[in-house]
Amino acid sequence: MSERPYVIDEMISAKAIAARIEELSHAIKEEFRDTNKLVVVGLLRGSFVFIADLVRELDLPVEVDFLEASSYGNAMESSREVRILKDLRGQIEGRDVLVVEDIVDTGHTLKHVVGLLASRKPGRLRTIALLDKPSRRETDVAADWIGFSIPDEFVVGYGIDYAQRNRNLPFIGKVRFPEA
């Protein structure tokens, strides 16, 4: 990665994120109110902050598992080639599953992951994404729940990184490269 300096402008505040997660949790609790255990699958690495905050709002029996898929590496653009770097530890056949994604951009990662998990025959399979960039979609995939729809901007914070940096920001920020 080039050490080209950049600036981060706040786009979605920590307070707005917390309020939206509370709203989303109500819809998820309603959908899964009859579950005996909801398997919440976080897509690493970007979803780890979102999944932590989300499961704390769910008044349901939950099990948390993780799957790591990559289509970016350290780049700002998707390679469109999805690789599974870490698979689930547990079985999901016949179980209720909620896939938690940080951002749906081109849609290739979510489509690949949903196809993979659907082939394992879960009872119910639903998806949630903190951020959605519909203008960038290249596939026919959509999350069941969306936190925020955003324009085509490169964003960081709240678990989302740029070359492994800025995940620790409590807000979603737009990356901007100042003129030299």
User: Catalytic residue positions?
Assistant: 105
24 backbone dihedrals φ, ψ, rounded to 5°: -65, -35
Q: Using CA atoms, how far apart are residues 53 and 98, in angstroms rounded to an integer?
A: 14
Let me know: does 87 contact 76? Beta carbons within 8 Å.
no
Helix/strand/coil (H, E, C) string of 88-143? CCCCCCCCEEEEEEEEECCCHHHHHHHHHHHCCCCCEEEEEEEEECHHHCCCCCCC
Rg for the chain, CA atoms, rounded: 16
H helix and E strand count, the chain: 3, 9
* CA dihedral for 80, 83, 88, 91, sign (positive or negative): positive
Let me know: does 86 contact 41? Beta carbons within 8 Å.
no
